[in-house]
Structure 1
Amino acid sequence: MEALQDFSFSMKVKSGSPIDLFKAINYHHANMDEATTRLRLVGRQADGTEWHCGWTMPEVALFGSLMVEGQLTDLMIDQQASTLVPSTELVFYADHIHPLARVMGTNRIEKREIEVLGSRIEFAYERNNKVISITAAHSDQLPPTYTERWLTEPLRIMFGQPVVPRLVARNNGGPAIVFITKQPRLDISSWSSYWRDETAESFFDVYSRLLRLVALAPERHSGEPNQITRFYDELSKVAGASRWVIALTLAGCTEGLATLVRPHTKNELKSQERADQKAAAEFAEKIDALDAPDKLKTIAIAALRPKGASTDRTLKALAEAGCITREQLLTWRKLRNSVMHGEILYPYRSAKEDAKLLQLMEIVRSLTIELLKRREYS
């Protein structure tokens, strides 16, 4: 491993038939949809310690020198834990660019504890070693296994980046299972981040609220990230893509978040529906009074009938409630319709185009705020 992002292996075949290895590779390529056709790699140190290297497939296999090379997903080893308290521990390599280091370093925090979901969660920063750890004692609502993913999801939403720890330890009150993973390089900040306030109090408050949302969600045991996390993950993936792709993703995330918010906005939607029906009825009377063919008037009046649930109606209700601005709603309508119908955005940076994309991102943040607020009180 030459870098945090490099998980490669290289080994020389000393026993067994290389023909069997090539047969296994060919079988995998013939059955790409079957994940279990990949190979498992196990490494053994000189002292007998075993490392489980997960699923992998050789990228280079040379007959002459019998060399095999490839990439790993992670490393796993069983070790004795340093604590007898059953807990989940995440360890991040955090240089001065890492957003977690900025939170802890800027606010001169070496250690902070918060209590969430029956668990005490400790954040610790070793500035000289460039290490930040998050340790959560297990509780009924933060059990082993699932908590390993749940603890990172608020960070992925808050920073708008693929925050992954370098090490994950599942401490079982004695023995521990330790995973070493690829840690992607992060930027100081991202336009797709949910959290914009760099104060420590705000950080730990928002982290706690998002963790509750993730760990208490109905789909929490599905094995997949929370739906909100997935939207922010998608935004982080397109951070360096073309402006058109960014706009498409922002529009899609807005639609998805609006769908999640909609069940919590019944009162606003009912009020809006009554207002729309009244306005439609008044306009229909004016159309009916026109001197025009009855068939055309009937078609025009039918077109005025309020439609069913939609993202536009949800955003309109939120705009009237002051959750988003009228200007943001109009920008979403214009940009969403144009990019969805194939209109390519201006490919180069401009203050005018940037302002439009940032308005869409503000809608995403506002929808997240509303969802977080309304789920907390539902």
Structure 2
Amino acid sequence: MSQIDRLTPFLLGPVTIRCPKMALLARDLEPPLAEGEGEFEIVSEREFRYRMTGLPVDLKHSLHALNRERDEPYEPLNRFRLVMTDADGKEWMGGWTAPDVDPDGDQWVLTGTCDSLSTGVQAPATGEGGAEARFLIPRNHSAAIIFRRFVRSDAEGGGVSAVRTIDVLGNPVRFAFDSETNVLSISAADTPDLPAHAAENWFGEPLRILFGQLAFPRLVERRFPDGQSMLWVRQSPAWTADSTWTALWSGDERFTNDADFFALYSGLLTLIARDAEWESHTITTFYEEVIQSAQGSRWVMALTLASSIEGLARRLVPEGTLRTDADQAAIDSLVAHIEEWQGASRLKDTALSAVKR
């Protein structure tokens, strides 16, 4: 069993994890904000909440840490880290949070939200690392039909199955689609071109561009050669019909042309991996901004679309690049002619700028 399968019960909400031990950690080498017990709830695909009842370890320090976070809310290190141990002794991490604190009564009550849930597991060493990301594909979206049709065996005469493998930079990238749960899995072994710690996030970027949706993985596994794995349950934003028009993968053949679909996915992932950015690739970011703007006003959408087009154009044609068919001598001659004009300087500068472009 793949270690990520351990997270299947947490795929959808609501799910509650009872935790006899909970703590909110402050900065490194500082006492915890508080320790106690409580529960962690996966409310839905987009919300994680917790409730802890406990006491501060050092009251003076806890009050100082709370005031520090309130006074400087934009300093990320002022936030707290939620750690938990469930009834089975399994250790979990809830990530960064800024809790609401009710100090009335015999014990403090601390509540709040988190961005993810993670844990570590140990299995026998395999000598090979890798990454796997699993995505929730809405059943009523065309992507569900596409993956049901396109993710099939690539063996000769293999017929239809739930697995397909493509090549990216000489590395096999595996797709698997469960038509019952509508979960798409994308995985690859750890290589210099597709390092596991980055590939777990890169896998989703082509999907956001292809479908015009905020496709982020719900479950993630980062596997190390010694058999250890880090597992995450992450927020999975809702897909919306408002941004369907932003999808790169469209047209009459979108349900039948699997070869072009995977060629396009491979090309996008290759571009993303070669630039090896930690955050979303610049081009992916343009798409994310347009996708989000599609839910706003037409004015916001138009401005975002225009700025994204300009950004893409600048990447395709870097500043200072000359057109191969440009007559540079004619340009220089016209520039010299305009520079001799003694008219309004603003109009002159505008004309010069236009000609030089």
- TM class by shorter chain equals 0.7 to 0.9
Q: d(CA) in 2 for partners of 1:138 and 1:302?
A: 54
Q: d(CA) in 2 for partners of 1:144 and 1:27?
A: 36
Q: Is the 8 A contact 1:91 1:132 kept in 2?
A: yes
Shift of 1:106: 4.7
Shift of 1:185: 1.2
Q: Is the 8 A contact 1:73 1:181 kept in 2?
A: yes
Q: Determine whether 1:102 maps to 2:145.
A: yes
Q: d(CA) in 2 for partners of 1:25 and 1:247?
A: 42
For 1:30, give the aligned amino acid. D
Q: How does 1:279-294 map to 2 (within 5 A)?
A: 280=334
Q: Determine whether 1:74 maps to 2:132.
A: no
Q: Is the 8 A contact 1:10 1:67 kept in 2?
A: yes
Q: d(CA) in 1 for partners of 2:75 and 2:123?
A: 35
Q: d(CA) in 2 for partners of 1:100 and 1:249?
A: 25
Task: Name the structure with the higher helix share.
Answer: 1
Counterpart residue number, 1:49: 90
The alignment's TM-score, normalised by the length of structure 2, stands at 0.73
Q: d(CA) in 1 for partners of 2:96 and 2:134?
A: 23
Counterpart residue number, 1:226: 281
For 1:167, give the aligned amino acid. L
1:107-164 Cα distance to aligned partner (Å, 9 max, x none) = 4742211011232111111111222111111222011211112211111222222211
Change (3 A) 1:255 1:14: same
Of 203, 217, 225, which residue of structure 2 is paired with 1:165? Answer: 217
Q: d(CA) in 2 for partners of 1:308 and 1:216?
A: 35
Q: Is the 8 A contact 2:335 2:355 kept in 1?
A: no
Q: d(CA) in 1 for partners of 2:180 and 2:332?
A: 66
Change (3 A) 1:279 1:148: same
Q: Determine whether 1:8 maps to 2:49.
A: yes
Q: Is the 8 A contact 1:98 1:187 kept in 2?
A: no
Shift of 1:270: 4.7
RMSD after superposition? 3.2
Q: Is the 8 A contact 2:91 2:119 kept in 1?
A: yes
Q: Determine whether 1:124 maps to 2:176.
A: yes
Q: Is the 8 A contact 2:151 2:164 kept in 1?
A: no
Q: d(CA) in 1 for partners of 2:112 and 2:172?
A: 40
**Unpaired segments ≥5 residues, structure 2:** 1-41, 153-161
Q: d(CA) in 1 for partners of 2:325 and 2:250?
A: 32
Q: d(CA) in 2 for partners of 1:105 and 1:208?
A: 19
Shift of 1:279: 9.5
Q: Determine whether 1:92 maps to 2:126.
A: no
For 2:138, give the aligned amino acid. D
Q: Determine whether 1:271 maps to 2:325.
A: yes
Percent identical:
31
Q: How does 1:207-222 map to 2 (within 5 A)?
A: 207-217=265-275, 220-221=276-277
**Unpaired segments ≥5 residues, structure 1:** 289-293, 314-378
Shift of 1:186: 0.9
Q: Is the 8 A contact 2:331 2:355 kept in 1?
A: no
Q: d(CA) in 2 for partners of 1:81 and 1:229?
A: 35
Of 252, 259, 262, which residue of structure 1 is paired with 2:307? Answer: 252
Shift of 1:16: 3.8
Shift of 1:9: 1.0
Q: d(CA) in 2 for partners of 1:278 and 1:15?
A: 74
Q: d(CA) in 1 for partners of 2:124 and 2:185?
A: 14
Q: Is the 8 A contact 2:136 2:218 kept in 1?
A: yes
Change (3 A) 1:22 1:100: farther
Shift of 1:78: 0.7
Change (3 A) 1:304 1:42: closer
SS of the residue 1:101 aligns to? helix
Counterpart residue number, 1:192: 246
Q: d(CA) in 2 for partners of 1:194 and 1:13?
A: 51
1:60-108 Cα distance to aligned partner (Å, 9 max, x none) = 5352363211111111111135993421000122331355423212547
Q: How does 1:132-151 map to 2 (within 5 A)?
A: 132-151=184-203
Q: Is the 8 A contact 2:138 2:239 kept in 1?
A: no
The alignment's TM-score, normalised by the length of structure 1, stands at 0.69
Change (3 A) 1:300 1:21: closer
Q: Determine whether 1:33 maps to 2:74.
A: yes
